[in-house]
Structure formats: C-alpha cells, structure tokens
Amino acid sequence: MKVLEPDTEAEAQTLIKRAQLTREPLSIRGGGTRSSLGRPAQAQATLSALKLNGITLFEPTEMVFSARAGTPIRVIEQALSEKDQMLPFEPMDHRRLLATGGEPTIGGIFAGNVSGSARINRGACRDAAIGVRLINGRGEIVKSGGRVMKNVTGLDLTKLMCGSFSRWCRARSDQRPSCCSGSTIVKRSRRFPGRWAPASTRMARRTCRQG
C-alpha cells in the first residue's frame, strides 16, 4: 500500500481533496498504536500524519498548549513536566494491550478521546480540549475553539470532534499542575480469600498533594 507523508497542512489538504475527487479510498494513520482495532481499511493509499508534528504554542502560565496532529505524546509530556504540569486525563498507551508498535500521537489521542484512569475525577480527553483545526472528508479545513476557555467559540464542535476518529491537523488543550505524589488503594476480597476483589467492589483512589 502506498504511504503518503505530507509535510504541511496544505499538502495534506491537497491529498484528501484529490482522493475525494477521484473517489479513491484513503486510510488515515497517526502513530499506528491502535491499528489492530476494527476491520482493516480497504484503501489504496495511507495518509500518515507523522511529519505533521511539533508544539506550536505553549503558555505555562495560562496552562494551555497547541500541537500538530503527528506530535508524539512523549514530546508533549516531556515539555509539560519541565514546567511541573501534566495532561489531566492521563492518556493510556495501547501498545502493550493491543500488541502494536508505533508511538501515540496527540492527534490520535484526541481523535479517539483516549483517556486513562484519571478520567473518573478529572474528566476525559474531550473535557480538556479547547480548540481544534482539522480537515474533513471533502478536504476543507475546519477550525473551532480558541487559546483560552474564556475566549473559546464553537466549543461544542471541538467536543463533538474529540472521539470521532476524524482527520486532525492541530489540537489545543489545557493542562494541570503535576501531582507531587500518588497512591492507589486496593481492597482484597473477603468473599474469595487470597484473591483481589472483583472490579465491581474494587476501590481505587488517587491522591495528589500540591506543594
């Protein structure tokens, strides 16, 4: 299968427009960490977002950042940790679970609304998303949201697109101060001695002390 690797947003837009006009099936791929989910795409070419990477905006005082779709999560988390900040939804890494390779990207995380265990008390990925710039199936660039929550317009569209597995060009999110310490409490089962409690009775709590 032919792999297309655009270097710019304009190139990606042109490729999608061409595929739409010629009615050529086109598969969209980020880091490929969840490529084993669902039925394989019956496409003649794959558009890779890996070259569309880099953090375009980072304001630690406002706790907001913007990055291109192909930016690895590792790069973003490293930049945030240098300012004692973190992604509040703690996106999980599916590689070990799904036995896949590649590297998670911010575009894939937002497109799939990928969230970790912190979702229960900090919200999901879409709750942290405040802006999006994407290319739709007709090759049109759509922009929604803003740099800070109080200036955001079209916020509902941002929330709607987060989790839609759409074609993201750039994602914008807020972050939170990182936890100084964390702990997990697991309860043993009285009903089944020697075993961990079933999921329905398991109790887990994460505590964060800012200091």
Q: Are the C-beta atoms of 113 and 163 separated by less than 8 Å?
A: yes
154 and 92 fall within a common domain: yes
* Whether 148 and 162 share a structural domain: yes
Alpha-carbon Rg for the chain, nearest whole angstrom, is 19
Q: How many CA atoms lie within 13 A of 140 on its CB side?
A: 3
CB 174 within 8 A of CB 128: yes
160: containing domain:
2-177
Q: Does 87 lie in the same domain as 56?
A: yes
CB 72 within 8 A of CB 165: no
- Cα 27 to Cα 35, 102, 158, 167: the distances in Å are 11, 16, 22, 10
**CA separation, residue 47 to residues 12, 26, 29, 110, 193 (Å):** 8, 7, 6, 18, 52
pLDDT digits (tens, 9 = 90+) for 58-89: 988 888 899 999 999 999 999 999 998 989 88
pLDDT above 90 coverage of the chain, percent: 23
136 and 34 share a domain? Answer: yes
* Whether residue 211 sits in one domain with residue 153: no
Same domain, 197 and 140: no
Residues 115 and 203 in one domain: no
Between CA 51 and CA 46 the distance in angstroms is: 13
Same domain, 209 and 163: no
Q: Which two tokens stand for residue 129?
A: 């998303």
Kindly report the CATH number assigned to the domain that includes residue 125.
3.30.465.10
Question: Taking the chain (211 residues) in consecutive chunks of 10 residues, what is each chunk's mean pLDDT?
Answer: 90 92 89 84 88 91 89 93 90 88 90 87 86 87 74 67 71 61 59 50 39 38
For the chain, give the number of residues.
211
One domain for residues 147 and 204 = no
Q: How many domains does the chain have?
A: 2
73 shares a domain with 54? yes
77 and 99, same domain (yes or no): yes
Give kind and range of the element (H or E) at residue 134: strand 129-135
Judgement on whether residues 169 and 203 belong to the same structural domain of the protein: no
